[in-house]
């Protein structure tokens, strides 16, 4: 009986803090991300408020729990997550329709600003596509201090393969240590203090 009660409590907490990709039949992982407005510099759409970059490639991780290498176009230059080797990485998977995702974004932005002079890099990864709201629509309402990569199901599968666990909902956050190993997986939203306590273990 106690086991059943614990399971029900855990399920309720997850329901409150995360959006499952099976919550609605119209939810799906993006097969082809919507095209961004072109600039003379490349595929980036950028305003003074935020930065959004289109993912360009994904490579499977070389070993278990190692972060997959993925790249994006930034100001006409190809940037890879491998370029951040030696830093603690905070990879936050989110979706435009996910309320818990949007709720935690201001605190994530504060974390990124606070740690800007540390060996730390934060990326928001937009994945599950649903509805008419774009990434730009959300970031106009909730400006953030960290870059957003517009990704697709290739990256989802690469993370699922290296961790051995499916991404069942968003937000899902991975903390990667300075050696490129995924050391924390957090499903559901958290507050600033909780995230900071985890990040500081690896800085």
Determine the topology of domain 2-199 in CATH.
Glutaredoxin (3.40.30)
35 contacts 134 by C-beta, under 8 angstroms: no
Kindly give, in sequence order, each residue whose CB lies less than 8 Å from that of residue 88, ignoring residues fewer than 6 positions away.
118, 119, 120, 121, 175, 176, 177, 178, 199, 202, 203
d(CA 63, CA 151): 22
CA distances to 58, 107, 109 from 114, rounded to whole Å, are 29, 10, 9
φ/ψ (deg, to 5) at 64: -60, 135
Give tens-digit pLDDT for 144-179: 999 999 999 999 999 999 999 999 899 999 999 999
Give tens-digit pLDDT for 90-132: 999 999 999 999 999 999 999 999 999 999 999 999 997 777 8
What is the bridge-based pairing of β-strands 19-20 and 169-170? antiparallel
């Amino acid at each position: 009986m106690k086991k059943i009660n614990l399971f029900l409590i855990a399920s309720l907490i997850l329901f409150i803090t995360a959006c499952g990709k099976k919550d609605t039949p119209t939810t799906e992982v993006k097969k082809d991300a919507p095209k961004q407005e072109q600039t003379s510099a490349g595929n980036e759409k950028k305003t003074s408020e935020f930065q959004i970059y289109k993912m360009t490639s994904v490579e499977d991780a070389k070993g278990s729990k190692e972060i997959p290498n993925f790249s994006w176009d930034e100001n006409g230059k190809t940037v890879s997550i491998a370029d951040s080797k030696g830093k603690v990485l905070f990879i936050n998977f989110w979706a435009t329709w996910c309320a818990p995702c949007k709720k935690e974004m201001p605190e994530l932005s504060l974390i990124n600003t606070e740690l800007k002079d540390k060996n730390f890099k934060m990326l928001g990864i937009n994945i599950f596509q649903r509805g008419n709201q774009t990434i730009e629509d959300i970031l106009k309402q909730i400006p953030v201090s960290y870059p957003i990569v517009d990704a697709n199901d290739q990256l989802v599968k690469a993370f699922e393969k290296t961790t051995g666990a499916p991404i069942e909902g968003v937000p899902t956050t991975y903390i990667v240590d300075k050696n490129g190993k995924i050391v924390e997986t957090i499903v559901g939203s958290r507050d600033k203090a909780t995230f900071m306590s985890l990040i500081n273990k690896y800085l």
